[in-house]
Amino acid sequence: MKKFLALILFLLFILFAWFGWQWYKNTILCCDDTVQKEVKETVIPEVVKYGPLVFDWDSGKPITNDLWPDKKNEIQSADAEGKILRIVGPYYKEEINNTTFENLGLARADALKQMLSDSIPIDRMEIDSKLMSNLADAKTKPFGGTILDWKIRNENIKEIDNKVLIYFPYNSSQKLENENITNYLNSVAKSLKDNKKTLTLTGHTDNKGQPAYNKWLGEKRANAIKNILIKLGVGADRISVASQGEAQPIATNDTEDGMQKNRRVELEIK
């Protein structure tokens, strides 16, 4: 009888031990807060990949990565006769400029110009700068903002940012009859066919003659360009005309070359 009771007690002990282990495994081991916390805190760090061309704070030296060769090829592929590459370097007024340039933007643009000189002639590139305002992480992380754009440059047409200058002869409202202007106005008309953008044409003159006459002449020049664009298929309601006469020269009126630059229509697409 005693052996039978001992066997029963032994079996009960084994049963209780098994149930106890199952409870411990399913509650304590499974749901331990420390284990969960360690799993949650295992975070894969984010990999930050910058653009092909960036700069460090206070530095005029360009920083490139593995994306730069493709970007360089893209720039070169857009080259065309009668165009120059305009390079605009970004800068912040808070930066310390230790270069010989007026600001770090010009220094950065010139450094990039030298980088591209192995494939683009120096005399077909021009530099400029742009003051930036969005500081954000610029002081601690590399930043972009460089503008590279092919612009038309010849004796008749000059693209500047979002404006185009079309030059006129002295005391004339007739556009210069040549291939440069004809081709450009054709390209403008084609670019407006598939959108709803509008045009603003503003006429300008040199300072010869009376201000009232020059105001009239500037408007006459703007209307001459408008009429050509209408003939090319641009709706008249999409073209605004204005005149500044002699009031806004972009060059000196003391030389013939300067006066030629002032005799112009400024075309802006909005």
CATH class of 53-152: alpha beta
- The structure's pTM equals 0.62
Question: Is the Cβ–Cβ distance between 237 and 209 less than 8 Å?
Answer: no
- For the record, the structure tokens of 166 come out as 């079309």
* Residue 51 DSSP class: -
Decide yes or no: CATH 3.30.1330.60 for domain 157-269.
Answer: yes
Give per-residue burial for 82-112: e unless 16+ CB within 10 Å, then b: ebbbbbbbbbbeebebeeebebbbbbbbbbb
User: Cβ contacts of residue 189 below 8 Å, gap of 6+?
Assistant: 229, 232, 233, 234
* DSSP H or E stretch at residue 109: helix 104-116
Q: What angle do CA 175, 232, 228 make, to 5 degrees?
A: 25
pLDDT, tens digit (0-9, with 9 covering 90-100), for 216-229: 999 999 998 999 99
* DSSP H or E stretch at residue 44: none
pLDDT at 152: 83
Give per-residue burial for 68-77: e unless 16+ CB within 10 Å, then b: eeeebeebee
Low-confidence ranges of the chain (pLDDT < 70): 1-50, 169-178
pLDDT, tens digit (0-9, with 9 covering 90-100), for 13-40: 666 665 565 655 555 555 544 444 444 4
- Give ranges for CATH 3.30.1330.60 in the chain: 53-152, 157-269
